[in-house]
Amino acid sequence: VGVRLGAEVTSLDLDNNQVALASDETMAYDRLVIATGTEARQPDIPGQDLQGVFQLRNLDDAVRIRSFLEKNGGRRAVIIGAGFIALEMAEGFSLRDMAVTILYRGDLPVRPFGPVIGQQIKDHLAEKGVDFMSRTKPTAIEQTAGGLAVKTDQGVFEADVVLTALGVRPNTALAEAAGLELGAAGAIRVDEFGKTSRPGVYAVGDCATSRHRVSKLETWLPLGDVANRQGRVAGENAAAGDVRRFPGVVGAQCFKVFDLQVAKAGLDEAAAAQSGFEPMAVQIKGLSRAGSYPGAQPLWIEMCADKRSGKLLGARGVGAEGVVERINIVATALFAGLTVRDVGWLDLAYAPPFGGSWSQIQIAAQKLEGKLG
Amino acid sequence: VGVRLGAEVTSLDLDNNQVALASDETMAYDRLVIATGTEARQPDIPGQDLQGVFQLRNLDDAVRIRSFLEKNGGRRAVIIGAGFIALEMAEGFSLRDMAVTILYRGDLPVRPFGPVIGQQIKDHLAEKGVDFMSRTKPTAIEQTAGGLAVKTDQGVFEADVVLTALGVRPNTALAEAAGLELGAAGAIRVDEFGKTSRPGVYAVGDCATSRHRVSKLETWLPLGDVANRQGRVAGENAAAGDVRRFPGVVGAQCFKVFDLQVAKAGLDEAAAAQSGFEPMAVQIKGLSRAGSYPGAQPLWIEMCADKRSGKLLGARGVGAEGVVERINIVATALFAGLTVRDVGWLDLAYAPPFGGSWSQIQIAAQKLEGKLG
């Protein structure tokens, strides 16, 4: 494998199987794999090029932020946005003993995880001393004598470092200019082999679509593990001629913010209804360990199923421990297409340090089974 | 529901739908549910009725042990046996600052978990100051001036408290005397509804058999969560007339010993071969968190699949964290009957605090897929 670092691709000539570089060279290919990832969404406000204003897209960004802090010794961080990158960075700045303020246009963090999880995270941030300013819309970032100021419709927030974390969109400029078909969320449309709309051209990772095994719809899930799997599939296929199918995703994801684990898999009620299901959901409050075992922590799980078929559609949860464990049971069950009649009676490894003799996953599924009638 | 505490049943008259009590009463029934559980295996040595010699079968036993220690202030515990109850009690005694010695006839603890896990536990016990005496066969327990002495073929071990933990067998005396059919391991044979060989008579829990979804064979798994599920099934059926089928077990189980999580699900190579499969296994060493994330702990996973069909057959693992999470993915996949072709490409919730972008479960399954040829 030849690696050309610093080789900036300026255009793709798919008719002639050639790639044009900024150095005016062209490179011929038999198979082309596009892995251009994402680009950060920018807030539509002035001041983003000021010193001390950052995004976090990759390792280079992380190193830049740390170097800046080590050199300038910032004490106050303002984060614009409230997705899981924003939350992870709030924890990161706090662990450096910085005062952290999150500015968010909406009400609660991580909207795709729903309001119950959002509220628990908001409360947890407050416990950890992070200021979460909801319904706060930044209008400009400005340089001041003492550092930076983020102006908003709710007042001015002073900072030594500002992170904009408004999420990402697929980086498809080259693909689009070359005429490749785009799909969900504007990502490059690929089939189960990772192939784009042009023969011999593959796309993988955060710039490409994938198939959702629950909704059966094309989706876009820019997550590291999905990208890894897609890359493996397209690589095998580009080399050996479409030998492996990507089996699709179930939307499993998780993150940690301070002492909370947060995870979800599959569809929530709104997404399920949009996908043509007749969703119903139950919410379970439980404990991470058997009640008799020391150190049990509160745990909250929501599970969603289709009223017509009993099919498990998704779940999400939050708590101090055991959440990822429980949601990965759901992720596996979703992948296998199980119904709540199955999930309620799974045989799971049980011992008091890890949960009760009925997992909240089984309890939620049985409750849903009871609603099937 | 009428509860008769202290009502000792002396015999079952299944021809006349009656239960005889030690009080000479008889009770009539329409449906009978037998839930007589297990009895502890006894070592075939004298001295088991001495003060300070205990078994652990239930909460009463636990309370008795604690009361004895609180009253007599014992400092030295000897445990005969090396199953997971023995290990959990070794931890329990150690947490009371007692010196703990485990005496075991064999080489390594928890034999059904295999030698790699056994060795790791043995090493961990040594780190925690527990003496593990392998190939040591007790011959008698005796009262001494200072407490108790366990005589063995390897010398004498002094103790203030002795726990015999040699495992359990199904408690089937009543059922056997009444002529009910017995099955695997001598447990009461039941069908998927929980019904015994006699109409109207159900058996559940540790005294009853269950069906293994992977081996398809009748099995006996005296575990609390299995008993819970069987009880629910037989209760519904006894009351409402065979409305629910017990979907069977996959042999999922776990325990904690000091800082180690240990778990398994499904069949190991030996059990798989006995069940008619052509098993192959791989072993994976990995980390509990992404390598880049602080606090990652070593993790070991073994996975087994059928060479002919690619069917996932089982897995077991050990490590400081994340083991139960990974084995419950396997338990769910086994329940659903997935192949390693599926399991290698599951979509799981991933974030660096909880693992790498490829779970060891996926890595192991892909290795097995590679061996399918």
Determine, for residues B347 and A251 on separate chains, whether the beta-carbon distance falls below 8 Å: yes
Residue B113: CA count within 13 A, CB half-sphere: 28
B58 interfacial to chain A (CB closer than 8 Å): no
Chain A nearest-CA residue for B256? A353
B253 interfacial to chain A (CB closer than 8 Å): yes
**pLDDT of B199-255, one tens digit each?**
999 999 999 999 999 999 999 999 999 999 999 999 999 999 999 999 999 999 999
Q: Using N-to-C axis directions, what is the helix angle for B323-336 and B360-372, rounded to 10°? A: 50
- The C-alpha atoms of residue A238 and residue A27 are separated, in whole angstroms, by 17
Determine, for residues A354 and B265 on separate chains, whether the beta-carbon distance falls below 8 Å: no
Bin B359: left if φ > 0, else alpha if -120 < ψ < 50, else beta: beta
- Mean pLDDT score of chain A, rounded to an integer? 96
Report, as an integer, the average pLDDT of A263-274.
98
- Are B255 and B84 in contact by the 8 Å Cβ rule? The answer is yes
| Radius of gyration from C-alpha coordinates of chain A | 23
Query: A226 contacts in B (CB within 8 Å)?
Result: 347
Report, as an integer, the average pLDDT of A41-68.
94
A50 interfacial to chain B (CB closer than 8 Å): no
pLDDT of residue B311: 98
The single-letter DSSP state of residue A207 is: G
Question: ∠ CA A325-A329-A330 to the nearest 5 degrees?
Answer: 120
**Residue B351, phi then psi, degrees to nearest 5:** -155, 150
pLDDT band (50, 70, 90) for residue A134? very high
Tokens at A106, concatenated: 């909406």
**pLDDT of A67-109, one tens digit each?**
999 999 999 999 999 999 999 999 999 999 999 999 999 999 9
- The C-alpha atoms of residue A195 and residue A201 are separated, in whole angstroms, by 6
Query: Hunting for tokens 């992380």 — which residue is that?
Result: A62
What distance in Å separates residue B323's CA from the closest CA in chain A? Answer: 9
B106 interfacial to chain A (CB closer than 8 Å): no
pLDDT band (50, 70, 90) for residue A4? confident
Report, as an integer, the average pLDDT of A1-24.
92
Query: B261 contacts in A (CB within 8 Å)?
Result: 354
A346 interfacial to chain B (CB closer than 8 Å): yes
Determine, for residues A252 and B354 on separate chains, whether the beta-carbon distance falls below 8 Å: no
Query: A335 contacts in B (CB within 8 Å)?
Result: 338, 342, 346-347
**pLDDT of B254-304, one tens digit each?**
999 999 999 999 999 999 999 999 999 999 999 999 999 999 999 999 999
Chain A nearest-CA residue for B229? A345
Query: A252 contacts in B (CB within 8 Å)?
Result: 347-350
Choose the closest CB to A335 out of B254, B335, B346. Answer: B346
A342 interfacial to chain B (CB closer than 8 Å): yes
Determine, for residues A349 and B328 on separate chains, whether the beta-carbon distance falls below 8 Å: yes
- Are A227 and A206 in contact by the 8 Å Cβ rule? The answer is yes
Report, as an integer, the average pLDDT of B113-141.
98
**pLDDT of B133-172, one tens digit each?**
999 999 999 999 999 999 999 999 999 999 999 999 999 9
- The C-alpha atoms of residue A152 and residue B156 are separated, in whole angstroms, by 78
Give the residue from B257, B260, B261 showing the smallest Cα distance to B92: B257
Question: How many CB atoms neighbour CB A248 within 10 A?
Answer: 19
Q: Which of A66, A237, A332 to mutate to test the interface with B (most CBs of B within 10 A)?
A: A332
Determine, for residues B333 and A328 on separate chains, whether the beta-carbon distance falls below 8 Å: no
**Residue B163, phi then psi, degrees to nearest 5:** -115, 125
Q: Which amino acid is at A320?
A: A
**pLDDT of B19-57, one tens digit each?**
999 999 999 999 999 999 999 999 999 999 999 999 998
Tokens at A255, concatenated: 């993150």
What are the CB-based long-range contacts (under 8 Å, 24+) for B153-159?
A: B157/B78, B157/B101, B157/B103, B157/B133, B158/B76, B158/B78, B159/B52, B159/B74, B159/B76, B159/B77, B159/B78, B159/B101
Tokens at B318, concatenated: 């050990």
B250 interfacial to chain A (CB closer than 8 Å): yes
Tokens at B334, concatenated: 């086994």
Give the residue from B357, B360, B361 showing the smallest Cα distance to A225: B357
Percentage of residues of chain B with pLDDT beyond 90: 95
A172 interfacial to chain B (CB closer than 8 Å): no
pLDDT of residue B61: 94
pLDDT of residue A160: 97
The interface predicted TM-score of the complex, written ipTM, equals 0.96
Choose the closest CB to A224 out of B250, B256, B350. Answer: B350
- Helices of type H across B172-312: 173-177, 224-240, 269-274
- The C-alpha atoms of residue B58 and residue B64 are separated, in whole angstroms, by 10
Tokens at B301, concatenated: 């996973």
